């Protein structure tokens, strides 16, 4: 069985793997049909992802089909089409026992800390599979990305009479925007990139966008859009230390700031401002199993449509050649999807 492995930063290779064994108790053997590529994969390729280890088979955004199940598996059966919750948790640490399976103390993400889905078949704990009877594999592969936005909005918990500012309109920001809109709060999106803001306006139906120029004009614009109060929830999805530091100044009194983007640098916050406004600062990591169930339902019923996000598709044999191109801004990639097998 052929697989694609990132042997070390900037160096993919094809490897031969033995056929997987039959699934053990609680496991499922799955055939991989679609793999979404995201910023984490690009950072892993560039050697800029602090938690990434090598060599590694990438792939954590997966649309799969169940080939066989092991003893005791009742949530899925052979032939089921599923999204994969790629967060492998230990089930025993204090975090897991309290239901925070997204931030297990011994957490491993498929394709980041352990091998992922850029291979025809693999074994996965069956409890990490979420079935849909109607979605295409490509739609199932995008459920995980949406999970990141869903969890970030759950953390910020905007109410219908509040406003949300999403900073950064990359794929993670787009997934946040979907759930900001569903919350009923007034949704504002800010980015440096005008084409990305245009996409938000024309495809995502976002009414209010702001080009971040860093000249203070954005504060005036935010005041105008929020009746002077400033946004009640700010979600920073940039991964930029500069933006994350600045983001606190965009929050309303008693506001919540959610960091869903990740930086490896330190963030310094002006405490007088934080104290005076009694701001809450929240991290947001991964997503929870009920988020996957909810997202599948939202796509099935047509509330969310991620198909316009997929700008690039490629076959398994072309991934190694194509991957470096997707890193170039001029490629215009929002989401690239790898097709393995025929749907």
Q: Which is nearer to ligand NAD, 120 or 171 (CB)?
A: 171
In terms of Cα–Cα distance, which of 155, 174, 186 is closest to 284?
155
What residue 93 binds from ligand NAD, Zn ion, none (CB within 5 to 8 A, per partner kind)?
A: Zn ion
Q: In the set 3, 237, 310, 338, which binds ligand NAD (CB under 6 A)?
A: 237
Dihedral in degrees, nearest 10, Cα atoms 247, 329, 337, 175: 20
Q: In the set 23, 120, 125, 261, which binds ligand NAD (CB under 6 A)?
A: 261
Order of all β-strands in the sheet with 163-167: 208-211, 186-191, 163-167, 233-236, 256-259, 280-283
Q: Which is nearer to Zn ion, 58 or 156 (CB)?
A: 58
Kindly identify the residues of this chain, within the stretch 81-100, that bind ligand NAD according to CB under 6 A. none
Interatomic CA distance for residues 189 and 30, integer angstroms: 38
By the 8 A CB rule, do 303 and 204 touch?
Answer: no
What residue 86 binds from Zn ion, ligand NAD, none (CB within 5 to 8 A, per partner kind)?
A: none
Q: Which is nearer to Zn ion, 96 or 299 (CB)?
A: 96
CB of 240 to ligand NAD, least distance (A): 4
Interatomic CA distance for residues 293 and 146, integer angstroms: 11
Binding to ligand NAD by CB under 6 A, coded x per residue (else -) over 285-324, reads xx--------------------------------------
233 pairs with which residues across the strands? 164, 256
What residue 172 binds from Zn ion, ligand NAD, none (CB within 5 to 8 A, per partner kind)?
A: ligand NAD
CB of 84 to ligand NAD, least distance (A): 15
Grouping H, G, I as helix, E, B as strand and the rest as coil, residue 68 is: strand
* Choices 71-79, 89-97, 153-161, 254-262 (CB under 5 A): range interacting with Zn ion: 89-97
Q: How many residues does the chain have?
A: 343
| CA 135 distance to own-chain centroid | 19
Interatomic CA distance for residues 259 and 276, integer angstroms: 20
Q: Hunting for tokens 């704990």 — which residue is that?
A: 125
Kindly identify the residues of this chain, within the stretch 93-112, that bind Zn ion according to CB under 5 A. 93, 96, 104
Dihedral in degrees, nearest 10, Cα atoms 97, 99, 101, 107: -30
- SS3 helix, strand, coil % of the chain, rounded to 5? 35, 25, 40
In terms of Cα–Cα distance, which of 204, 211, 203 is closest to 182?
204
Q: Which is nearer to ligand NAD, 1 or 46 (CB)?
A: 46
Q: Which is nearer to ligand NAD, 301 or 330 (CB)?
A: 330
CB of 290 to Zn ion, least distance (A): 17
CB of 115 to ligand NAD, least distance (A): 18
Q: In the set 90, 267, 269, 320, which binds Zn ion (CB under 5 A)?
A: 90
Q: In the set 65, 85, 138, 191, which binds ligand NAD (CB under 6 A)?
A: 191
Q: Which residues bind Zn ion (CB under 5 A)?
A: 38, 40, 89-90, 93, 96, 104
Q: Which residues bind ligand NAD (CB under 6 A)?
A: 38-40, 148, 167-173, 190-193, 196, 212, 237-240, 242-243, 260-262, 284-286
């Amino acid at each position: 069985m052929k697989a694609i492995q990132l042997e070390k930063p900037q160096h993919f290779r094809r490897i031969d793997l033995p056929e997987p064994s039959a699934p053990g108790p609680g496991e499922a053997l799955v055939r991989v049909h679609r793999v979404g590529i995201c910023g984490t994969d690009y950072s892993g390729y560039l050697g800029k992802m602090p938690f990434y280890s090598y060599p590694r088979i990438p792939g954590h955004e997966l649309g799969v089909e169940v080939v066989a199940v092991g003893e005791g598996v009742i949530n899925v059966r052979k032939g089921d089409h599923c999204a994969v919750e790629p967060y492998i948790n230990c089930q025993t640490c204090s975090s897991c026992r309290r239901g925070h399976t997204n931030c297990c103390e011994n957490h491993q993400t498929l394709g980041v800390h352990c091998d992922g889905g850029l291979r025809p078949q693999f074994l996965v704990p069956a409890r990490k599979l979420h079935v849909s009877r109607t979605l295409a594999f490509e739609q199932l592969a995008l459920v995980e990305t949406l999970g990141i936005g869903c969890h970030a909005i759950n953390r910020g918990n905007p109410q219908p009479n509040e406003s949300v500012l999403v900073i950064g309109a990359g794929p993670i920001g787009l997934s946040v925007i979907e759930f900001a809109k569903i919350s009923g709060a007034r949704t504002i999106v800010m980015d440096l990139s005008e084409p990305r803001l245009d996409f938000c306006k024309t495809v995502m139906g976002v009414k209010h966008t702001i080009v971040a120029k860093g000249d203070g004009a954005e504060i005036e614009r935010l005041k105008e859009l929020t009746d002077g109060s400033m946004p009640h929830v700010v979600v920073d999805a940039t991964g930029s230390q500069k933006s994350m530091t600045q983001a606190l100044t965009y929050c309303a009194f008693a506001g919540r700031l959610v960091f869903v983007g990740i930086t490896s640098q330190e963030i310094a916050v002006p405490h007088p401002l934080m104290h005076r406004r009694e701001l809450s600062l929240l991290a947001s990591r991964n997503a929870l199993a009920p988020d996957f169930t909810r997202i599948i339902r939202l796509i099935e019923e047509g509330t969310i449509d991620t198909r316009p996000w997929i700008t690039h598709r490629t076959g398994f044999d072309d991934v190694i050649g194509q991957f470096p191109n997707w890193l170039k801004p001029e490629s215009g990639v929002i989401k690239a999807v790898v097709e393995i097998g025929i749907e």
